Amino acid sequence: MFRFFSTSRQNRPDIAIDFGTANTRTVLRDGGIVFEQPTASCFSNKGGKELFLTAGTDAYDMLDRASGGLHIRRPLARGVVQDLDAASAYLQYVLKSVMGRLRLSRPSAMVGIPADATKAEASALRTVLSDAGFGRISLVKETYAAAIGAGLDIGAARASMIIECGAGTTEIAVFSIDGECLIRSVRGGGQSLDEALIEHMRARHHFLIGLRTAERLKHAISRQISLRVGDSSGIGADPSNHMVEIKGRDLRTGLPATRMLSASVFQPVFKKHLVPIVEATRGVLATIKPDLAADLLSGSIIATGGCASISLLSEMITNDTGLPIEAVNDEALCVSRGLETLMAG
């Protein structure tokens, strides 16, 4: 279905795609990232038919703002295709955006996919890529691409470990000399956290916010929330010192309003969301061979993906396992960088 990937010069793909639940990036050989936009498609309903209008940034900017005749659809959920029509339309939009650089009728593509994707989910991805106009398709495990993009020597004798924290899924993998040793996935990533923040604001504060506001809120407080409540020493200080402004609608009055809340009120929301990731990480460490576990004691766990910036995740994993978390530069770009390296052969 999909596996570790190697290419000959004759079979190198023309384009690599990090088709993410929240954002999509495309990479051309020797051209770097040439497309980076939200994964969203906009359709209009005319005469009972859904007609594609636009995608990417233009569609995302209409999220929670579109009129009754417009529908913003997210092609992916939990890392895999959930809406075939929206996914195919979006990938056509991607292909059209980069077509001038490719000068090919049906370019070959290398595309990332969650390691635990089923045959049906992989088949759905291949179908929408083919329908969108791509030719030969190669699927690559996102953890593998992320590890390469983060600079890990995954073929080294000493074991290494990575947590790829995406918007749709979080995956934990251990690599050693013979490749991938073990992987576990948690379906649900940053997008699930956005939904949890919306529900928290509705249930606890009688305040309605949209997905775009929830996403901005998540990014605004992701580095502020800490386990060390009550510490005023600076780094990891009491998150209640950080206030965040949230705009939405007061459900009591029905009117637009603003709330000023401390980051600390969101700590339980973040913790509940992160517990399954911590448990999965512990599960991987408890399952690998003793010699591999010993290797990890003298190193650190590499965190990649857009949600790797959540400080609380690093604290919770370190507290639970005793292993430090190491951040990388531009953690959200690791899969794209890895795909670019693999595409070069």
Distance of alpha carbon 312 from alpha carbon 216, whole angstroms: 17
- For range 215-223, the mean pLDDT: 94
Distance of alpha carbon 165 from alpha carbon 338, whole angstroms: 15
Q: What would the pLDDT profile of 65-104 be if each residue is shown by its tens digit?
A: 877 789 999 999 999 999 999 999 999 999 999 987 776 7
* Residue 316, C-beta contacts closer than 8 angstroms, at least 6 positions apart: 227, 271, 274, 275, 278
**Secondary element (H or E) of residue 240:** none
Domains in the chain: boundaries: 9-145+334-344, 156-327
Inter-residue contact 29 to 343 (CB < 8 Å): yes
* CA dihedral angle for residue 312, residue 79, residue 76, residue 55, rounded to 10 degrees: 70
Q: How confident is the model at residue 235 (pLDDT cuts 50, 70, 90)?
A: very low
Structure token digits, residue 185 = 């996935």
Beta strands in 84-189 (DSSP E): 109-113, 137-141, 160-165, 169-176, 179-187
Which three-class secondary structure string do you get for 178-196? Answer: CEEEEEEEEECCHHHHHHH
Provide the pLDDT for residue 345: 78
- Of the candidate CATH numbers 3.30.420.40, 3.10.20.30, 3.40.50.2300, 3.40.50.300, the domain formed by 156-327 belongs to 3.30.420.40
Topology match between the domains 9-145+334-344 and 156-327: yes
pLDDT higher than threshold 70 for residue 23: yes
- Give 250: exposed, middle or buried? Use CB within 10 Å, 0-12, 13-18, 19+: middle
Distance of alpha carbon 204 from alpha carbon 209, whole angstroms: 13
Inter-residue contact 334 to 304 (CB < 8 Å): yes
Q: What is the pTM of this model?
A: 0.91
- Of the candidate CATH numbers 3.30.420.40, 3.40.720.10, 1.20.1370.20, 3.20.20.140, the domain formed by 9-145+334-344 belongs to 3.30.420.40
Q: What is the DSSP string of 290-308?
A: HHHHHHHHTS-EEEESGGG
